[in-house]
Homo-oligomer: A and B are copies of this chain.
Amino acid sequence: MRLSRHPERAAYDRATIDAILDEGLVGHVGLESAGQPYVLPMLYARDGDQLYLHGSPVSRLLGALSEGVRICFTVTLLDGLVLARSAFRHSLNYRSVVVLGAGRAVRDRHEKLDALRAIVDHAFPGRSDLVRGPSEPELKVTEVVALDLEHASAKARTGPPADKPGDYAIAVWAGELPLGLLVCAPIPDSRCSAPEPPELRSYRRGAA
């Protein structure tokens, strides 16, 4: 999809696309069923040029995804509010990726195990090595769907508001209010006796 609005904000290079996908934690998958589109949040991971989603095979969503219907997967990073001098020029700073394609049900055992590891490690790097991996019954009730990144595009807005020349005389504060992901203090569950790993306190998404 070539994005027709604000073409100056679009990018199609894989480095830009990969960086946004790798920083995001949750994406939104869209698909149509019986004339009604649905948009649902999902965890995911990227491995090379494949995007992996997972869920229960009995869910309507994953069932449809694995049948090869056309889907859209969008990841949006909110970078800030753009506060302008006119209502019209208010905007958001953001980076987003839109991936179009048809889902492919992952049947190969090795690819499926790798994808499930990637999804856990995407949310929390290195976590797969520390926890129990999927049992056979768990594998059976987990559907993994791959989406090729061939038809992916990125879009971003950065920087200060772009006010109309005549509006700069308006005496109101204008600029950016940067936003990001807040990581709070970890909460061990009531049966946790293992020490808190330092990676919990240093958890961040992206380069920052």
Cα distance A124–B130 in the bound complex, in angstroms: 42
Q: Does A15 contact B (CB under 8 A)?
A: no
Q: Which of B28, B86, B142, B173 contacts A196 (CB 8 A)?
A: B173
Please encode chain A, from 126 to 144, with 1 for each CB lying within 8 Å of some chain B CB and 0 for all others.
Answer: 0110111111001000100
What is the distance, in angstroms, from A34's C-beta to the closest C-beta of chain B? 10
Q: Does A184 contact B (CB under 8 A)?
A: yes
Q: Which of B133, B180, B192 contacts A182 (CB 8 A)?
A: B180
Contacts of A178 in B (CB 8 A): 183-187
What is the distance, in angstroms, from A83's C-beta to the closest C-beta of chain B? 6
A26 in contact with B87 (CB, 8 Å): no
Q: Does A106 contact B (CB under 8 A)?
A: no
Most buried by B among A26, A186, A195: A186
A sample of 10 inter-chain contacts (CB < 8 A) reads A30-B72, A41-B76, A81-B124, A87-B133, A88-B142, A131-B172, A174-B194, A176-B186, A177-B183, A178-B186
Which 4 A-B pairs have CB atoms at the shortest separation, nearest pair first?
Answer: A160-B189, A30-B39, A30-B30, A182-B182
A residues adjacent to B (C-beta < 8 A)? 1, 4-5, 25-26, 28-32, 35-41, 43, 55-56, 58-61, 70-74, 76, 78, 80-81, 83-88, 90, 92, 94, 96, 98, 100, 116-117, 120, 123-124, 127-128, 130-135, 138, 142, 160-161, 167-168, 170-197, 200, 203
